[in-house]
A and B are shown apart, each in its own frame.
Chain A
Amino acid sequence: MEWGPIILTFRLASITTVLLFLVALPLSYWIAFSRSRWKPVLETLISMPLVLPPTVIGFYLLVAFSPENALGTFLHDYMGLQLVFSFEGLVIASMIYSLPFMVQPLQAGLANLPPNLKEASYVMGKSRMATAFYVLFPTIKTSILTGLVLTFAHTIGEFGVVLMIGGNIPNETRVASIAIYDEVESLNYANANAYSLFLFILTFSILLTVYVINSGQFKRIWK
């Protein structure tokens, strides 16, 4: 077993989680409190990765980012971004693919807050921004943790999207899940098992942590 794919997997998961969190926070806020008629459309779009085969998303991203297309050309010529078969492309694809796993806990957390909290803060003269950062976000910290961990774990488990848009370039796009597939194809079952066991134990630990924290066990253990 090589460490390269494992390290790459973690790099991808960490960067995806951080970037997605920054994108999802305002997005979730808007969905939770907006009364726009476009809200259901956006909610549906965000949920699509839950039902679509990852290959569908991977395929469309591949087409969109391809240098033969307008978007791909634009990104390449004006921003110097090569998104097909590159790490950057994987990050963007992972963010889209994990969107519901980050947005849904945040949105649910915000929507379930008593509306009076926000209003009380406004009456105290606090802006929307101050209210969000000092009152609302701290109050939904377990939802935030859930979103972060789920996104991280889900990105580790990605396969279809990566295969479509990233391919299998060592130290660039060859993440653990791809490496496992590769080892199996080459009949190196021992290596495949090493990667698999490592991922299994790791994702199990991460999810267990979330459930323990959310069930309040965490507090009981530490207090």
Chain B
Amino acid sequence: MNQLEGTIDRIDSKGNLSVVDIQVGGSILTTIVIETPETVSYLRKDLSINVLFKETEVMLAIEKPGRWSVTNQLACTVEKIENGELLSKISLSYEGHPLQCLLLTRVVRDMGLMSGQAVWAMVETTEIMLQA
């Protein structure tokens, strides 16, 4: 489970749903949760919170994606690549914080990923969990 610490920047609620923007370093990550500031105490602007997402849910791009539906984009550097037979584990660094990502070994080879390379890591809004 990848974990980054951030600060809640904005909350838009309707019914039982809230879209939450979290400032993590120089980027904003957005998530949607079935909670509102009324139901839980951790949904408050400026509160520090952990952002969690699974390694299998991280997408990588070599150039900065243009008009993508995935708005959660983090500029990272590849630290290390461990090639398995089918799956490879890519260790990334986002502003000094470690992140990990699982990709098909075949894809790693096709993309020509190498350590030291700059990449964009992306996560769907529905894949991000919050932990107080």
Direct A/B contact, Cβ within 8 angstroms: no
